[in-house]
Amino acid sequence: MALGASACSGGTDDGTDDESAPPAAPAVPTILVTTGIWADIVSNVACDGLADIETIIPVGGDPHGFEPSLQDRARMENAALVVANGLELEEGLEDTLEAVAESGTPVFEFADGMEPIPFAFEGAHHGEGEDDGHDDEEEDSDGDEGHDEEQDEGDVEGEEEEGHHGEDEEEEEVDAEEGEEEEGHHDEDEEEEEEEEGHDEDEGEEEEDDHGEDEGGHGSGGDPHIWFDPQRVSGALPGLAGVLTDEVGLDAAAIDACLSGYLAELEAVDAEVAAKVEQLPAASRKLVTNHEALGYFADRYGFEVIGTVIPTPASMAQANPAGLEELAEIIEHEGIKAIFAETLHSVDDVEALAARVGDVDVITLYTGSLGPPGSGAETYVDFMRTNAELIVDALG
Amino acid sequence: MEFLTDPVAWWIDPFTSNVFMQRALYAGLLVVLTTSVVGTWVVLRGMSFLGDALAHGVLPGIALAFIIGVDTTIGAFVAAIAMVWGINLIRSHSVLPEDTSIGVLFVGFLALAVAIMSSSSGAYTGDLNRFLFGSITGVDAGDLRRQVVAAVISLSGVAIFYRAFLVMTFDHAQAQVLGLRPRLAHGVLLVLLAISIIASFEAVGNLLVFAFLIAPPATAVLLVRRVPRIMAAAAIVGIVSTVVGLLVSYHHRTAAGATMALATVVVFLVVLTAKAILLAIGSRRGHTHAAVTGI
C-alpha cells in the first residue's frame, strides 16, 4: 500500500514496484483523499504510481469526527485533486472542503453521482414486514449474475424508495428531481418523528435540542456510507477516471487500463460476497449494528438492518434504555445470533446489549476505516471480503 | 400526562422490565451519592469553577492512558493531581486571582486532550463524545464496582474530615488556631472531588458530571441551612433528578446522561422559582423577609 506516502519526495515510487514507468517524473501529481478506503480505491484507478495518493484521515480515524489540521488544509490546497465521500460523511472536513474548492483545487465527491438511500431508521424501523411483489421487476432490470434473489428479500426500505434506487443504480446518472423526491421522503419521516415526540409538554426543550443535533449531523439527508456497495463504487469510478484525466491531466490510456482492471476486481469481490451471502438462509440476513453504517451493504446483498444501538445517525447521539430494550426484544424474537460493533467506536453499549440478550455474539466490523496491517482489511477489496466473512460466519 | 393517568406504567414498569434502566439507575444513584456529599462542600466553599475545571482537566489523562494502554482511571487521576498542583503553583508564583489560574489550566488541559486525541491514529480518535457525555447504558459490573468504591471513599472521607471542612469553610483563621490544618483539609477535599469525578465519568461523562456536582447541592442550599441536611437534601434532589431524567429518557428516547443532567438543573430552577414566589407571597402578607434571605 502506498497510502500516506511521502509527498513530493521526487522520483522514488513507494509501495508499487514498477520499474517500467520512468522514475524521471518528479511531477507526479498529488491527490489527497479523505478516508483510507477511498484512497485505496483511488490508488487503484490511478494505479502503478500514476499519482501520489495521500490520505487525510489516518487509519483508525473516525471520518465523522475528524478535524483537519492547518497542515492538512495546506496539503489540500496544494493538491492536484481532493477526493471525498460527500453526503456529509466528513462532517469535520466540510468547511475545509468547501474552502479548498473555492481556492481552485478540484474536489471530487463520490456521492455526487449516486442516488443516496435514506437512513433506514427514520420511519422504517418498525416495518418488519418484508416487501415482496415488485421484487421481480428490479431483478430483471438489474442485469447481473444470478445472485439477485437475496437482494430484495429483506429490505427495510419502503417499496417506493427501493424502486427508486433500483432504477437509478443501473442508469448511473442521477437527475435532480428524483433526488429531491427522496429528500422529501426523508423530511416527512423526520416530521413524523417530531410529531410523535411532540405531544409531551414538560420536556419540550430537550427534545428540540436533540433534533437540532440530528439535523446538524446529517443535514442533507441520505446515508453516506456508500462504499459498502461495490456496485455503487464501480458506478462512480468512470466519473473519477474522467476527473483524473481532465482535471489532473493523467494519461487517459493508462487510467483506462487501471480502471478496467479494477472494475473487474470489484465485480469479482462483489460476486464473491454475494455468493458468500447466499450461504445464509434468507431468514438469517438480519443486521443489528452499532451505528447505521451498513445500509448500502444491506441494500446490495439483501440484508435487513433491523436495529442500531445508537438510535440516530447523529454523531452526538447516545443509546437510550428504551431503545436498547426494544432492540434486545427484537433480537430475541428474531433469534439473531450476532450483533455488530465497529472498530472505530466504543463497544460498551453493544456489549451491554449482548449481555442483556445473553445468547448473542459481538462481532467487530471494519466500517469507516481500513484495518491495520495484518487485519485482513488493508485494502477496500479485502475490507469487503473480510466484513462479509465476519457477517456471514457470525449469522450462519 | 401519562405519568399522572397511568403512574405505574410511567414510573415503575421501565425499571422492572428493562435491565438497561436498572443498570442506569444503579449507576446514577452511585453518581449522586458520591457527588452530592462532595459537591456540597464545592458549593459552600465557592469552588464550582475549580470543580468544572477538574472535570475537564482529567481528559488529557484519559486520552493518554488510552493511547499508552493504561487504565483510564489512573490516567484521569494523574491528570487531576497535575491540574491541582499546577493551579497552586500559578497562584503562589503570581498575583493573579485563583479563578485566572484555574481558567488558564482548564482551557490548557482541555486543549491538550483534544490535541492528543487528534494526533493519535489509533482507535477512539472520534470518541471524544464518549468521554464528554459518558454512556450510562453501557456501564458494566466493573464500572459499578468502581463507583461503589468511590462512593465509600467519598462518604467516609467527608465523615472523617467533616469538622475540618466545616471550620475551613466558614472560618479559615479559626481552623488554623484549632490546629485543623486547613491546607491538608483543602487537599483532601480536592482528592475527594477528583475521585468523585473520575468514578462518574464512565456513566455520565466529564461534561455532565459537573451538573451532579453542583446542581443538587445548590438546590439543597436553597431549601435547608445546616450542612448535614444540605448533604441529605442534595442526595434526595439528585436521586429524584436521576429517576425523572431516566424516565424521561426512556419514554422520549433522549440521550440518558444528558437528560439526567438536565433534570438536575430543571429541579434547581423549579425550586428557585417556587422559593421566590413563596417569598413574594410571604412579604406581601407583611412578614419581614430579613429572616429568609440568603443561606
- Answer whether A322 sits within 8 Å of B118, measured CB to CB: no
Contact B126 A66 (CB under 8 A): yes
pLDDT of B25 strictly over 60? yes
pLDDT for the residue A195 = 41
Q: Are strands A338-342 and A107-109 parallel, antiparallel or unpaired?
A: unpaired
Predicted confidence at residue A121, as pLDDT, reads: 59
Q: Does A317 touch chain B (CB under 8 A)?
A: yes
Contact at CB, B137 and A319, closer than 8 angstroms:
yes
Q: How far is CA A244 from the centre of its chain?
A: 22
CB < 8 Å to A319, chain B: 135, 137-138, 256
Answer with the residue of higher pLDDT: B295 or A257: A257
**Per-residue pLDDT tens over the stretch B272-294:** 999 999 999 988 876 554 444 44
Query: Residue A11 burial by CB count (10 A; 0-12/13-18/19+): exposed, middle or buried?
Result: exposed
To which CATH superfamily is domain B6-293 assigned?
ABC transporter involved in vitamin B12 uptake, BtuC (1.10.3470.10)
* Least confidently predicted of A22-31, B15-24, B243-252, B283-292: B283-292
Q: Is the pLDDT of residue B222 over 90?
A: yes
B105 grid coordinates: 489550566
Sequence ranges of the domains in chain B: 6-293
Interface probe for B, chosen from A308, A320, A325 (most Cβ of B below 10 Å), is: A320
C-alpha distance from residue A4 to each of A22, A53, A123 (Å):
22, 7, 40
Sheet containing A286-289: which strands, arranged edge to edge?
Answer: A304-308, A286-289, A338-342, A361-365
Residue found under cell 479563578: B99
Cα diameter, chain A: 72
pLDDT at A279: 93
Q: B53-81, pLDDT tens digit by residue?
A: 999 899 999 888 878 888 888 999 999 99
Percent of chain B clearing pLDDT 70 (strictly above): 92
The closest alpha carbon to B193, from B73, B79, B56, B35, belongs to B35
What pLDDT does residue A220 have? 52
For chain A, report the end-to-end CA distance as a whole number of angstroms: 32
Query: What mean pLDDT comes out for the span B226-246?
Result: 95
Contact A389, A84 (CB under 8 A): no
pLDDT at A179: 40
Measure the CA–CA gap between A49 and A298, rounded to whole angstroms.
34
Write out the E strands in A21-175: 30-33, 52-55, 81-84, 107-109
pLDDT in tens, B91-141: 888 888 888 999 999 999 999 988 887 776 544 444 666 777 788 888 888
Residue with cell 483506462: A256
Averaged pLDDT in 10-residue chunks for chain A of 396 residues: 40 42 64 95 93 88 80 90 92 88 93 84 39 39 41 41 41 42 42 41 38 38 91 95 94 95 96 95 92 92 91 64 88 93 84 90 92 91 96 94
Residues of chain B found within 8 Å of residue A64, distances taken between Cβ atoms: 126
**Residue B23's pLDDT is what?**
87
Q: What is the ipTM of this complex?
A: 0.71
Of all residues in chain B, the one with the smallest CA distance to A345 is: B124
| Any B CB within 8 A of A318 CB | yes
On the question of pLDDT at B195 being above 60, the answer is yes
Which of A203, A111, A151 is CA-nearest to residue B246? A203
Distance, CA of B100 to CA of A150 (rounded, Å): 64
Q: Which residues of A touch B139 (CB under 8 A)?
A: 348, 352
Q: Work out whether strand A107-109 and strand A81-84 pair parallel, antiparallel, or are unpaired.
A: parallel
* A100 close contact with B: CB closer than 8 A: no
Q: Is the pLDDT of residue B263 over 80?
A: yes
Residue A205: per-residue pLDDT: 39
| A69 and chain B in contact, CB less than 8 A | yes
**Alpha-carbon span B14 to B80, nearest angstrom:** 37
The per-residue pLDDT for A185 is: 45
